[in-house]
């Protein structure tokens, strides 16, 4: 009898141990969640990350903390997030920059397609070609091209770092128009925009999300959006095709991943919370004001989108001859 009781107790102990992770996840989140943003505060990623974090925190009753870790075109933060403990309490908010990195960097310490699990596409604002409102005497894309062609190699554009979307968007623009521009890298879109406003750089190919408030303030001038259609937020700004550069379309999309190995239950719950948050009136307003519609792409579908972006930008990198260490 004693042996049977002991065996039963041991079995119950093993069962409880086996169920512990499931029980813990059933209560997820039990503590604050960290979202690693791989760019300094004030850039385009923050424009969407911070309102989303606030909304998620309200929904879940737990703080969602933004951890800005900028550097090397977003790869420093991505590397940090890839190595984070996959317990459902750390997520990574990256974007188009991370579809560029595989073809730009020879020795990345992470693989965006293997070291992360795709959660959801969050926002997809188009790039906008902007110039310093007082430094360049141009009012539209046609006059910009005329001005730059007369000054080959003299006009520069700011980027959020070598290998960022800003950088490759500029290289793509130069290839398609036959102009020669000089890129000036900064540690994120925030510092780059400060330099553009201050006149340290002439122009930029920025995400509409981070440029929107400065455009409204009149500190930078938009010449065209790199999209098939005009932005409802800035209906007076023509598309690049309308302004004379056909087929120039670039979006600075933002998305959420989890480190590989994160429990599926936690990912599923976060996906549901993100989907709910994006449908909230507040976030719809924020997204619209920053030139982005609300995406509907999660899980495997989002993963396939990332794969296609990696292939697309690899060709641009090769054709432009861009290499980074």
> What is the maximum span of the chain, computed from C-alpha positions, in angstroms?
97
Mean pLDDT calculated for residue range 251-258: 94
Mean pLDDT calculated for residue range 180-202: 93
Locate the domains of the chain by residue range: 33-124+253-320, 127-243
**Predicted pLDDT of residue 189:** 84
**How does pLDDT run across 213-239, given as a tens digit for each residue?**
999 999 999 999 999 999 988 999 999
Closest C-alpha among 130, 144, 138, 96 to residue 204: 130
CA distances from 251 to 97, 145, 215, 266 (A): 10, 21, 18, 29
CB atoms within 10 A of CB 30: 11
DSSP 216-256: HHTSEEEEEESSSS--TTSTTSPBTTTTT-TT---B--EEE
Please check whether the two domains, 33-124+253-320 and 127-243, share a CATH topology.
yes
Residues 168, 157 contacting (CB under 8 angstroms): no
DSSP bridge pairs for 93: 256
**Predicted pLDDT of residue 6:** 46
**How does pLDDT run across 267-304, given as a tens digit for each residue?**
999 999 999 999 999 999 999 988 898 999 999 999 99
**pLDDT tops 90 at residue 243:** yes
Choosing among 3.30.365.10, 3.40.190.10, 1.10.357.10, 3.40.30.10, the CATH entry for 127-243 is 3.40.190.10
As separate numbers, helices (DSSP H) first and strands (DSSP E) second, the chain gives 11, 10
Q: pLDDT averaged over the chain?
A: 90
Mean pLDDT calculated for residue range 132-147: 94
**pLDDT tops 80 at residue 78:** yes
The share of the chain scoring above pLDDT 70, in percent, equals 92
Q: Per CATH, is 33-124+253-320 categorized as 2.60.40.3080?
A: no
Q: What is the pTM of this model?
A: 0.80
**How does pLDDT run across 22-53, given as a tens digit for each residue?**
444 568 999 999 999 998 888 788 999 999 99
């Amino acid at each position: 009898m004693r042996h049977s009781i002991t065996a039963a107790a041991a079995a119950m102990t093993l069962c409880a141990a086996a169920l512990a992770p499931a029980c813990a996840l059933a209560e997820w989140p039990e503590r604050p969640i960290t979202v690693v943003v791989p760019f300094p505060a004030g850039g385009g990623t923050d424009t969407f990350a911070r309102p989303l974090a606030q909304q998620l925190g309200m929904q879940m009753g737990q703080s969602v903390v933004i951890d800005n870790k900028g550097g090397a075109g977003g790869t420093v933060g991505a590397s940090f997030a890839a190595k984070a403990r996959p317990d459902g309490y750390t997520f990574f908010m990256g974007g188009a920059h991370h579809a560029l990195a595989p073809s730009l960097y020879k020795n990345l310490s992470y693989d965006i397609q293997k070291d992360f699990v795709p959660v959801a596409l969050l926002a997809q604002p188009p790039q906008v070609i902007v110039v310093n409102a007082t430094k360049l005497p141009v009012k539209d894309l046609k006059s910009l091209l005329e001005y730059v062609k007369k000054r080959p190699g003299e006009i520069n554009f700011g980027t959020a770092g070598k290998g960022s979307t800003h950088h490759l968007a500029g290289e793509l623009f130069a290839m398609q128009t036959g102009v020669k521009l000089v890129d000036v890298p900064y540690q994120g879109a925030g510092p780059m925009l400060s330099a553009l406003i201050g006149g340290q750089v002439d122009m930029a190919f920025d995400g509409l999300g981070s440029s929107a408030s400065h455009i409204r303030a009149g500190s930078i001038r938009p010449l065209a959006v790199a999209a098939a259609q005009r932005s409802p937020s800035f209906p007076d700004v023509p598309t690049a095709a309308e302004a004379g550069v056909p087929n120039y379309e670039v979006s600075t999309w933002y998305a959420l991943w989890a480190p590989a190995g994160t429990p599926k239950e936690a990912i599923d719950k976060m996906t549901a919370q993100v989907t709910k948050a994006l449908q909230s009136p507040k976030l719809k307003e924020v997204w619209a004001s920053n030139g982005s519609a609300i995406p509907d792409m999660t899980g495997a579908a989002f993963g396939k989108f990332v794969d296609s972006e990696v292939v697309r930008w690899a060709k641009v990198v090769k054709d432009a001859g861009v290499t980074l260490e």
